[in-house]
Structure 1
Amino acid sequence: MICVSTVEPHWACNAPAAFAFSPLTSPTSRPELRMIPDTKIVERQPDARTVDGVVGAPAVAREPEQEALSSRLLRDYDAGAFFFASPKRTMLARGVFATVPDAGGANSLDGLPERVAAVLNASRDAAHDIPVAVGAVPFDGKVPAHLVVPMTIQRAGPMVFDGAAAARSPLAGQYTLRPVPEPSAYKDGVAAALKLMQEGPLRKVVLSRSLHVDTAAPVDLRQLLHNLARRNPHGYTFAVDLPQHADAAPGAGRRTLIGASPELLVARSGLQVMANPLAGSAARSADPVEDQARATRLMASPKDLHEHAVVIDAVAEALRPFCKTLDVPKGPSLVSTQTMWHLSTRITGELKDPSITSLTLALAMHPTPAVCGHPTALAHEAIGNIEPFHRGYFTGTVGWCDANGDGQWAVTIRCAEADDRTLRLFAGAGIVVGSTPEAELAETEAKFRTMLQAMGLGLEVQP
Structure 2
Amino acid sequence: MTARNMAPQALATHLLESYEAGSSFFFASPRRTMLTRGTFATVPCPVGANALAELPGRVAAVLRDAREAGHDIPVAVGAVPFDGSVPAQLVVPMTIQRAGPLEFDTAIPVHRAPPARYTVQPVPRPEEYLHGVAQALRLMQAGPLRKVVLSRSLHLSAATPINLPQLLRNLAQRNPTGYTFAVDLPAQADAAGARPRTLVGASPELLVSRSGLQVLANPLAGSIPRSADPIEDQERAAGLLASPKDLHEHAVVIDAVAEALRPYCKTLEVPAKPSLVNTPTLWHLSSRISGELLDPSISSLALAVALHPTPAVCGYPTELAHKAIGTIEPFDRGFYTGTVGWCDATGDGQWAVTIRCAEVDEHSLRLFAGAGIVAGSKPESELAETEAKFRTMLQAMGLGQGVEVQS
TM-score (structure 1 length as normaliser): 0.84
- The DSSP-based 3-state class of the residue aligned with 1:439 is helix
- Larger displacement relative to structure 2 (102-111 or 205-214): 102-111
Matches within 5 A, 1:130-149: 130-149=73-92
Matches within 5 A, 1:20-419: 39-40=2-3, 68-80=10-22, 81-103=24-46, 105-127=48-70, 129-170=72-113, 172-245=115-188, 247-249=189-191, 251-419=193-361
| Percent pairwise identity | 72
Mapped to 2, the partners of 1:406 and 1:249 lie a distance apart of 42
Given that 1:335 and 1:341 are in contact with CA atoms closer than 8 Å, whether structure 2 keeps it comes out as yes
Mapped to 1, the partners of 2:9 and 2:49 lie a distance apart of 48
Given that 2:9 and 2:103 are in contact with CA atoms closer than 8 Å, whether structure 1 keeps it comes out as no
Structure number with bigger Rg: 1
Cα offset for 1:129? 3.5
- The DSSP-based 3-state class of the residue aligned with 2:358 is strand
- The DSSP-based 3-state class of the residue aligned with 1:253 is strand
- The DSSP-based 3-state class of the residue aligned with 1:296 is helix
Amino acid paired to 2:214: Q
1:94-128 Cα offsets, whole Å, 9 max, x none, are: 11100000236454313110000000001113446
Mapped to 2, the partners of 1:283 and 1:260 lie a distance apart of 17
- The DSSP-based 3-state class of the residue aligned with 2:195 is coil
Cα offset for 1:211? 0.5
Amino acid paired to 2:278: S
Mapped to 2, the partners of 1:164 and 1:436 lie a distance apart of 40
Given that 2:218 and 2:288 are in contact with CA atoms closer than 8 Å, whether structure 1 keeps it comes out as yes
Amino acid paired to 2:39: V
Amino acid paired to 1:233: P
Mapped to 2, the partners of 1:321 and 1:459 lie a distance apart of 44
Q: Residues 409, 460 of structure 1: CA spacing in aligned structure 2 closer, same or farther, 3 A cutoff?
A: closer
Cα offset for 1:162? 1.3
Q: Residues 460, 103 of structure 1: CA spacing in aligned structure 2 closer, same or farther, 3 A cutoff?
A: closer
Given that 1:93 and 1:152 are in contact with CA atoms closer than 8 Å, whether structure 2 keeps it comes out as yes
Mapped to 1, the partners of 2:246 and 2:134 lie a distance apart of 18
Cα offset for 1:64? 7.5
- The runs of 5 or more residues in structure 2 that have no matched partner are none
1:398-440 Cα offsets, whole Å, 9 max, x none, are: 0000000000000000000001111000000000000011000
1:198-230 Cα offsets, whole Å, 9 max, x none, are: 000000000000011111111110000000000
Cα offset for 1:76? 0.8
Q: Residues 285, 183 of structure 1: CA spacing in aligned structure 2 closer, same or farther, 3 A cutoff?
A: same
Mapped to 2, the partners of 1:64 and 1:303 lie a distance apart of 49
Given that 1:165 and 1:230 are in contact with CA atoms closer than 8 Å, whether structure 2 keeps it comes out as no
Q: Residues 425, 326 of structure 1: CA spacing in aligned structure 2 closer, same or farther, 3 A cutoff?
A: same
- The DSSP-based 3-state class of the residue aligned with 1:430 is strand
Mapped to 2, the partners of 1:186 and 1:251 lie a distance apart of 32
Query: Greater relative contact order: 1 or 2 (C-alpha under 8 angstroms, separation 6 or more)?
Result: 2
Mapped to 2, the partners of 1:206 and 1:253 lie a distance apart of 30
Given that 1:103 and 1:112 are in contact with CA atoms closer than 8 Å, whether structure 2 keeps it comes out as no
| Equivalenced residues, count | 404
- Larger displacement relative to structure 2 (406-415 or 98-107): 98-107
Mapped to 2, the partners of 1:327 and 1:438 lie a distance apart of 36
- The DSSP-based 3-state class of the residue aligned with 2:106 is coil
Tell me how large the CA RMSD over aligned residues is. 1.8
TM-score (structure 2 length as normaliser): 0.96
Cα offset for 1:459? 2.0
Amino acid paired to 1:293: E
- The DSSP-based 3-state class of the residue aligned with 1:314 is helix
Mapped to 1, the partners of 2:47 and 2:317 lie a distance apart of 27
Given that 2:178 and 2:204 are in contact with CA atoms closer than 8 Å, whether structure 1 keeps it comes out as yes
Mapped to 2, the partners of 1:67 and 1:290 lie a distance apart of 35
Q: Residues 105, 139 of structure 1: CA spacing in aligned structure 2 closer, same or farther, 3 A cutoff?
A: closer
Cα offset for 1:172? 4.7
Amino acid paired to 2:212: G
Write 1 or 2 for the structure with the bigger share of helix.
2
Mapped to 1, the partners of 2:63 and 2:345 lie a distance apart of 5
Mapped to 1, the partners of 2:333 and 2:47 lie a distance apart of 20
Cα offset for 1:178? 1.6
- The DSSP-based 3-state class of the residue aligned with 1:174 is coil
Cα offset for 1:313? 0.1
